[in-house]
Amino acid sequence: MNEPPDPSRYVYHRVPPDLRGTTLYPLNRLADVYPDLYEKLQQNYATRRDIAALRIPPLGNCLWNDVLFLSPIHPALFEAALAEAGHTLPTPWRRFYRIDARLLNPASTVVYRSSETYWAGQFDVEKASVQIGIDCVPFKPQLLDRLEEVPQATRDYYAGVTAEAAARAGQAGSFPAIFLHTPHVLYKGDFDTTQDGISIVEV
Query: In the chain, what are the domain boundaries?
Result: 10-74+96-145+181-198
The pLDDT, as a whole number, for residue 8 is: 79
95 contacts: CB under 8 Å, gap ≥ 6: 14, 15, 200, 201, 202
Q: What is the mean pLDDT of each run of 10 residues along the chain (203 residues)?
A: 63 94 96 95 86 96 97 96 92 94 97 88 92 97 95 95 84 81 97 96 96
The pLDDT, as a whole number, for residue 172 is: 67
pTM of the model: 0.92
The pLDDT, as a whole number, for residue 1 is: 42
Q: How far apart are CA 25 and CA 38, in angstroms?
A: 10
The pLDDT, as a whole number, for residue 3 is: 46
The pLDDT, as a whole number, for residue 116 is: 87
| Cβ neighbours, 10 Å, residue 94 | 16
